Structure 1
Amino acid sequence: MLDLSGRKGLVIGIANEHSLAWPAALHFRQAGADLAMTYVGDRARPHVAPLADRIGASLFLPCDVGRDRDLDAVFDAIAKEWGRIDFVLHAVGKVRPEDLRGRLTDCSAEGFAEAMTVSVHSLIRMAHLAEPLMTDGGSLITLSYLGAERVVEHYNVMGPVKAALEASVRYLAHELGPKGIRVNAISAGPAATRAASGLVGSGDLLTASARVAPLRRNIDTDEVGRTALLLASDYTAAVTGEVLHVDAGVHIESPVSAL
């Protein structure tokens, strides 16, 4: 088991036990890390609070990443409680249903801006707030998807948004590298999560991915969690600016393979 004893980490983006960030939080805690967790509003709290209790989260705070003051409050609490932070998992994305289900061509400026603010700028803002607390270096991890690299039917506006997220990973890695802060993304394969359920044809996507993938299966969310653990650990001390695919190999296949 990788050892994160004494490390302090923040996990943002757990909505319920099916979230990709949840198995990551479990692995962080099992490896010995102290964790801070957040939830979005009073409606989400009953679903997330039992999970925070399960792993004994040291901090459990409300946070809507679309509001700078919420992120400021989270990092202020971390500074007061711990005085530092070693890793952050950013697993946040949001898009208006009408923009996700409609064509990119028809996406409103307001909807596009909202998706970019919540899904991308929130990572940039977290990097800004985490930098002074990562006094001995650290690791920033975010979650992406293959739709950032190629067209995935029905992914629509989230394709350009995730592409911007992956570009941000590279630029943040460049800027924060001199301070020993690594920034990486996990490009996770399709999985049965709350976020995926909002995607038109998500069941068909799961079926097609399992058929095309070199491993002939879809991923388990726990596999994403173990990869996040690896990226939070010293085992990846020389890895930064990467988009690491955890998708059973789907990304290497030609689109015609799905035919």
Structure 2
Amino acid sequence: MSGDQSVVLRVENIRKNYGKEKVLEDISFEVKKGETKVIIGPSGTGKSTLLRCINQLTTPDSGRVWLDGIEVTNSGSDINQVRQSIGMVFQDFNLFSHLSALDNVRLGLIKVKKMEKRAASQEAMTQLARVGLQDKAASYPAELSGGQQQRVSIARALAMGPKLMLFDEPTSALDPELIGEVLGVMKDLAKSGITMLVVSHELGFARSVCDEIIFIEKGVIVEQGLPEVLFGNPRHQRTREFLSKINELYGETGKK
């Protein structure tokens, strides 16, 4: 939850089109240090594209993004340095199948941060323990459940010491019984002060730990606010309709 109020992420007037399709249109918001913000909205509405614009996997057509006071959309910015400062957790884990959990987590420390192997191994084990998988360090992805694989990917992102963690529907590829273990780790991270921006339909998670909900539809922010306000008394009819549909599909927690 929020503590130090310095701004870690500032997004200003981001626009992105694919051909004639407007994917993002004038998206602006900020995330302060220690905050967790959750982005909700229908599928195909630009949420994943927004995350990719933030870490420069996708270049926005216009608008600017600042990370810790440095404009990452500036053509002179060091993209590799930017990506080291942002941890990204994807829907489909993106682990190397030929590497153990330990090797997946420590690879970036050795290759990118140039850490000595012993120090990298110690840090990797620390992060695996943080997500409850220190006993799976020698296991390969095929030997792990989907929930365990996603927790390894979270440990891998944390090991790099990011200023910001981005989560793109981190539970959408999981069997229902495995969702809770990943959300539990994410709740612990939020409560420990990790700065997080999460795209998710897990409304129970959002209610319990997030500082603000951002509802995006058709590439536009329709409404944003405190979870108790947005869930309890949303201003916009479209927000009410969307939340009602999510509750109908997944229950009030938003969990499948």
**Which of the pair is proportionally richer in strand?**
2
Q: Where is the helix percentage greater, Structure 1 or Structure 2?
A: 1
Please give the TM-score of this superposition, normalised by the length of structure 1: 0.34
Which protein has greater RCO, CA pairs closer than 8 Å, 6+ apart? 2
